[in-house]
């Protein structure tokens, strides 16, 4: 792996759950020796992508990340453009709605919205990565991803995942129950760009004990409509023919 790749892998270690790291922890987590790690961190800090804070001089993401994020959103509106649809979906279903997109081969949470009328809800975290093999979002994406086979073959539940993908393709949405979080029933549809390439997923995560046939129908109907709306809003279109594996 090149220097740039190693530096980007260091940035990937910063999460909402652990927004600050010391040098030793970053070196251990990345597998780099301390000297190399420190050199890369110093370079990232000089570009404003990282900064040091507190008495322990731990590293956290720097202000340059905000600039890049703002530039991306201004050039290719995604999150803010989709938020009104996401909120409407949450209110229409009474459950948590969330949006994810593919980042460097992984599925990352982009945005989410909660229904105002539910006290008990499925909680989300910004920038969380969603495992392809254990989530409805992952199955929805894999069902429409041309190069999905390596991801499916490497999954610990490859046979079950294949069956889930076939079902998702037939129904137009993927569904999971307690595969990622206990007592969570999730539904997801794929999202596409202008070339018909799947770029992410729109999903609804519901508390399983609340699920009824009527709620199931409400969620799937609203989800499919909202997914089509977001794809169109982003200038995308579903592919004429999907190349999903069987």
pLDDT in tens, 125-157: 876 889 999 999 999 999 999 889 999 999 999
Phi-psi region of 162 (alpha: psi -120 to 50; beta: other; left: phi over 0): alpha
Buried b (16+ CB within 10 A) or exposed e, 34-63: eeebeebbeebeeeebbebeeeeebbebbe
pLDDT attached to residue 232: 92
Percent of the chain beyond pLDDT 90? 74
pLDDT attached to residue 118: 73
Residue 100 has pLDDT above 80, yes or no: yes
pLDDT attached to residue 127: 67
pLDDT attached to residue 179: 96
First to last CA, the chain: 33
State the residue for tokens 């975290």.
125
Closest CA relative to residue 140, chosen from 207, 219, 208, 227: 227
pLDDT in tens, 103-113: 888 999 999 99
pLDDT in tens, 30-74: 999 999 999 999 999 999 999 999 899 999 999 998 888 778 777
pLDDT attached to residue 43: 95
What is the reported pTM? 0.74
Question: CA-CA distance, 97 to 197, in Å (whole number)?
Answer: 22
pLDDT in tens, 68-92: 877 877 776 788 889 999 999 999 9
* For range 149-178, the mean pLDDT: 96
- Domains of the chain, earliest start first: 3-66 (1.10.10.10), 76-233 (3.30.450.40)
pLDDT in tens, 185-235: 999 999 998 888 999 999 999 999 999 999 999 999 999 999 999 999 888
Question: CA-CA distance, 158 to 238, in Å (whole number)?
Answer: 26
Counts of helices then strands in the chain (DSSP H, E): 9, 8
């Amino acid at each position: 792996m090149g220097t740039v790749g190693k530096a980007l892998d260091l940035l990937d270690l910063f999460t909402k759950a652990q927004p600050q790291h010391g040098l030793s922890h970053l070196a251990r987590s990345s597998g780099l020796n301390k000297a190399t790690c420190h050199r890369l961190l110093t370079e990232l800090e000089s570009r404003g992508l990282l900064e040091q804070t507190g008495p322990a001089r731990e590293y956290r993401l720097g202000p340059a990340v905000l600039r890049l994020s703002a530039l991306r959103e201004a050039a290719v509106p995604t999150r803010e453009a989709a938020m009104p649809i996401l909120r409407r979906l949450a209110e229409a279903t009474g459950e948590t709605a969330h949006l994810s997109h593919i980042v460097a081969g992984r599925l990352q949470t982009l945005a989410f919205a909660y229904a105002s009328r539910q006290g008990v809800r499925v909680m989300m975290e910004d920038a969380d990565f969603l495992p392809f093999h254990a989530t409805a979002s992952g199955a929805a994406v894999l069902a429409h991803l041309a190069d999905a086979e390596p991801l499916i073959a490497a999954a610990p539940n490859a046979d079950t995942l294949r069956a889930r993908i076939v079902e998702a393709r037939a129904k137009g949405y993927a569904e999971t129950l307690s595969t990622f979080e206990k007592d969570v029933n999730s539904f997801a549809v794929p999202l596409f760009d202008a070339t018909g390439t799947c770029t992410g997923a729109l999903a609804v995560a519901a508390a399983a004990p609340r699920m009824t046939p009527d709620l199931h129908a409400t969620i799937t109907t609203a989800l499919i409509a909202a997914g089509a709306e977001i794809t169109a809003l982003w200038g995308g279109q579903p592919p004429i023919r999907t190349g999903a594996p069987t």
